[in-house]
Amino acid sequence: MSTWVPVPEGSGFGVNNLPYGVFSQRGELPRVGVAIGELVLDLAELANAGLLADRRWFASGSLNGFMAAGRTVWQPTRDRLITLLTDMSYRDEVEPCLSPVADVDLHMPFEVSDYVDFYSSREHATNLGRILRPGSEPLLPNWSHLPVGYHGRAGSVVPSGTPVVRPSGQRRGDQGPVFGPTTKLDVEAELGFVVGTPSAQGQPVPTSGFRDHVFGFVLVNDWSARDIQAWEYQPLGPFLSKSFATSISPWVVPVEALDAAHVPPPEQDPEPLPYLRCAEPWGLDVTLEISINGHVVSRPPFAGMYWTPPQQLAHTTVNGAWLRTGDLLASGTVSGAERDERGSLIELTWNGNEPLELPDGTTRAFLEDGDTVRISATATASDITPIGFGDVVGTVYPSPS
Amino acid sequence: MSTWVPVPEGSGFGVNNLPYGVFSQRGELPRVGVAIGELVLDLAELANAGLLADRRWFASGSLNGFMAAGRTVWQPTRDRLITLLTDMSYRDEVEPCLSPVADVDLHMPFEVSDYVDFYSSREHATNLGRILRPGSEPLLPNWSHLPVGYHGRAGSVVPSGTPVVRPSGQRRGDQGPVFGPTTKLDVEAELGFVVGTPSAQGQPVPTSGFRDHVFGFVLVNDWSARDIQAWEYQPLGPFLSKSFATSISPWVVPVEALDAAHVPPPEQDPEPLPYLRCAEPWGLDVTLEISINGHVVSRPPFAGMYWTPPQQLAHTTVNGAWLRTGDLLASGTVSGAERDERGSLIELTWNGNEPLELPDGTTRAFLEDGDTVRISATATASDITPIGFGDVVGTVYPSPS
pLDDT tens digits, one per residue of A299-339: 999 999 999 999 999 999 999 999 999 999 999 999 999 99
Q: For the segment B147-179, what is each residue's pLDDT rounded down to a tens digit?
A: 999 999 999 999 999 999 999 999 999 999 999
For residues B188 and B130, is the Cβ–Cβ distance under 8 A? no
pLDDT value, residue B383: 65
8 A C-beta contact, residue B217 and residue B238 = no
Radius of gyration of chain A (CA): 21
> pLDDT at residue B384 above 90?
no
> Contact B239/A151, CB-based, under 8 Å?
yes
Beta strands in B132-268 (DSSP E): 149-152, 157-159, 164-165, 168-171, 178-181, 185-186, 189-195, 214-221, 224-225, 246-248, 253-254, 262-263
- CATH number, domain containing residue A72: 2.30.30.230
The residues of A carrying an active-site annotation are 124
Distance of CA A360 to the CA centre of its chain: 28
For testing contact with chain B, the best of A236, A273, A395 (most B CBs within 10 A): A236
Q: Is residue B6 domain-resident?
A: no
- Other Cβ atoms closer than 10 A to B146: 24
The verdict on residue B41 lying in a domain is yes
Which chain A residue's Cα is nearest to B170?
Answer: A146
Residue A127: closest CA among A366, A307, A296, A344? A344
Cβ under 8 Å to B: A residues 376-395 = none
Across the interface, whether the CB atoms of B244 and A114 are under 8 A apart is answered: no
Cα B236 to Cα B11: distance, rounded to the nearest angstrom: 43
A307 falls within a domain = yes
What's the rounded Cα separation, in Å, for the pair B262 and A334?
49
B151 vs A153, A167, A170: nearest CB = A153
Q: What is the mean pLDDT of chain A?
A: 96
Closest CA to B316 of B143, B198, B147: B147
E strands, B331-371, in order: 356-357, 363-364
Residue of A nearest to B236 (CA): A237
A383 confidence band (pLDDT: 50, 70, 90):
low
Residue B64, domain member (yes or no): yes
Chain-centroid distance, C-alpha B148: 18
Shared-domain flag, residues B83 and B213: no
Within this chain, do residues A100 and A125 fall inside the same structural domain, yes or no? no
Whether A39 and A159 map to the same domain: the answer is no
Cα A53 to Cα A41: distance, rounded to the nearest angstrom: 15
B239 and A170 within 8 Å at the Cβ level: the answer is no
Same domain for B333 and B370: yes
| Cβ contact, residue pair B155, A119, below 8 Å | no
- Using CA atoms, how far apart are residues B266 and B121, in angstroms rounded to an integer? 10
Q: Which residue of B has its CA nearest to A224?
A: B319
Question: Contact at 8 Å (CB) between B52 and B85?
Answer: no
pLDDT tens track for B309-363: 999 999 999 999 999 999 999 999 999 999 999 999 999 999 999 999 999 999 9
Q: Are residues A211 and A253 in the same domain?
A: yes
- Using a CB-CB cut-off of 8 Å, the residues of chain B touching A237 are 150, 233, 235-238
- Cα–Cα distance measured from residue B126 to residue B333, given in angstroms and rounded to the nearest whole number: 12
Quickly list DSSP for A111-149. Answer: --S-EEEE---HHHHHHHHHHHSTTS-SS-TTTTTS--E
The Cα of B237 is separated from the nearest Cα of chain A by a number of Å equal to: 4
Structure confidence by residue, pLDDT tens digits, A107-124: 999 999 999 999 999 999
CATH number of residue B358's parent domain:
3.90.850.10
The predicted structure's pLDDT at residue A401: 66
> Of the residues A106, A139, A171, which one is the last residue of a structural domain?
A106
d(CA A294, CA A395): 12
User: For A190, phi and psi rounded to 5 degrees?
Assistant: -140, 165
The C-alpha torsion from B82 through B87 and B88 to B93, rounded to 10°, is -60
Q: Longest C-alpha distance within chain A, in Å?
A: 74
Peptide bond just before B270 cis, omega within 30 deg: yes
Q: Is the link from the previous residue into A235 a cis peptide, with omega within 30 of 0?
A: yes
| Same structural domain, B199 and B298 | yes
Q: Which residues contact B252 (CB under 8 A, 6 or more apart)?
A: B19, B20, B21, B63, B109, B110, B194, B215, B216, B217, B218
**Confidence bin at A54 (pLDDT 50/70/90):** confident
Rounded Cα–Cα distance for residues B393 and B159 (Å): 9
In chain A, the residue whose alpha carbon lies closest to the alpha carbon of B179 is A273
CB contact under 8 A, A244 and B324: no
Which residue in B131, B146, B151 has the most chain A C-beta atoms within 10 A of its own C-beta, making it the best mutation to test that interface? B151
- Cβ of B155 within 8 Å of Cβ of A225? The answer is no
Q: What is the DSSP letter of B17?
A: T
Rounded CA gap, B127 and B123, in Å?
6
Task: Give the CA dihedral A62, A63, A67, A68, nearest 10 degrees.
Answer: 20
Are the CB atoms for A151 and B328 separated by under 8 Å?
A: no
In a domain, B3, yes or no: no
Nearest neighbour of A150 by CB, restricted to B204, B237, B318: B237
B139 and B245 together in one domain: yes
CB B380 within 8 A of CB B372: no
- The 10s digit of each residue's pLDDT in A154-163 is 999 999 999 9
A126 touches chain B (CB under 8 A): no
B175 and B60 within one domain: no
Extract the annotated binding site of B. Answer: 117, 119, 133, 188, 190, 222, 229, 233, 242, 246, 333
A233 is in an annotated binding site: yes
Enzyme catalytic residues of B: 124
pLDDT of A176 strictly over 90: yes
Is some CB atom of chain A closer than 8 A to the CB atom of B119?
A: yes
- Does residue B184 contact residue B172 with C-beta atoms inside 8 Å? no
pLDDT, chain B, mean: 96
**Radius of gyration of chain B measured on its C-alpha atoms:** 21
A234, A244, A319 ranked by CB distance to B169: nearest: A319
Indicate if A97 and A125 belong to the same structural domain: no
Question: Is there a contact between A223 and A199 (Cβ–Cβ < 8 Å)?
Answer: no
Nearest alpha-carbon partner for B159 in B328, B369, B335? B328
Residue B182 falls inside a structural domain: yes
Tens of pLDDT, residue by residue over A338-382, are: 999 999 999 999 999 999 999 999 999 999 999 999 999 999 876
Cβ atoms of B334 and B288 closer than 8 Å: yes
From chain A residues 321-360, the ones with a CB under 8 A of any chain B CB are: 321-324, 327
Subunit contact A151:B153, Cβ cutoff 8 A: yes
Residue B267 has pLDDT above 80, yes or no: yes
What is the residue range of B393's domain?
Answer: 115-397
Max Cα separation, chain B?
74
Query: Is A306 marked as binding a ligand?
Result: no
* ipTM of model: 0.97
**Is B11 a member of any domain?**
no
**Is A246 flagged in the annotation as binding?**
yes
Quick check: B248 and B218 in contact, CB under 8 A? Answer: yes
* Predicted confidence (pLDDT) per residue in A5-24, tens digit: 999 988 999 999 999 999 99
Averaged pLDDT for residues B227-246: 97
Is A173 an 8 Å CB contact of chain B?
A: no
User: SS3 letters for A280-314?
Assistant: CCCEECEEEEEEECCEEEECCEHHHCCCCHHHHHH
Distance (Å) from the C-alpha of residue A357 to the closest C-alpha of chain B?
29
pLDDT at residue A381, as a whole number: 72
Task: Report pLDDT for A387.
Answer: 95
Q: How many domains does chain A have?
A: 2
Query: Which of the residues A319, A396, A399 would you substitute to probe the B interface, choosing the one with the greatest number of B C-beta atoms within 10 Å?
Result: A319
**What's the residue count for chain B?**
401
Give the C-alpha separation, B249 to A36, whole Å: 49
Distance from the Cα of B266 to chain A's closest Cα (Å) equals 21
Residue B143 and residue B94 share a domain: no
Are both A179 and A54 inside the same structural domain? no
**Residues 262 to 291 of A: which have CB under 8 A from any B CB?**
270, 273-275
**CA angle in degrees (0–180, nearest 5) for B298-B302-B303:** 125
Neighbours of A380 (CB within 10 A): 15
B44 and B56 Cβ atoms separated by less than 8 Å = no
Cα B388 from Cα B376, distance rounded (Å): 8
Say if B64 is an interface residue toward chain A (CB within 8 Å). no
Answer yes or no: are the C-beta atoms of B355 and B364 closer than 8 Å.
yes
Identify which of B133, B170, B239 has the shortest CB distance to residue A150: B239
d(CA B63, CA B51): 19
Look at residue B8 and tell me if it is in a domain. no
Based on the domain organization, do A173 and A60 belong to the same domain? no
Please, which pLDDT band fits residue B401 given cuts at 50, 70 and 90? low
Distance CA B212, CA B70 (A): 7
Residue where a domain terminates, one of B106, B139, B159: B106
* 3 state DSSP class of B217: strand
Residue B181 contacts A, CB cutoff 8 Å: no
B144 pLDDT tier (thresholds 50, 70, 90)? very high
Out of B80, B106, B132, a domain closes at B106
> Cα separation of B270 and A188, whole Å?
34
Report whether B335 contacts B123 (CB < 8 A).
yes
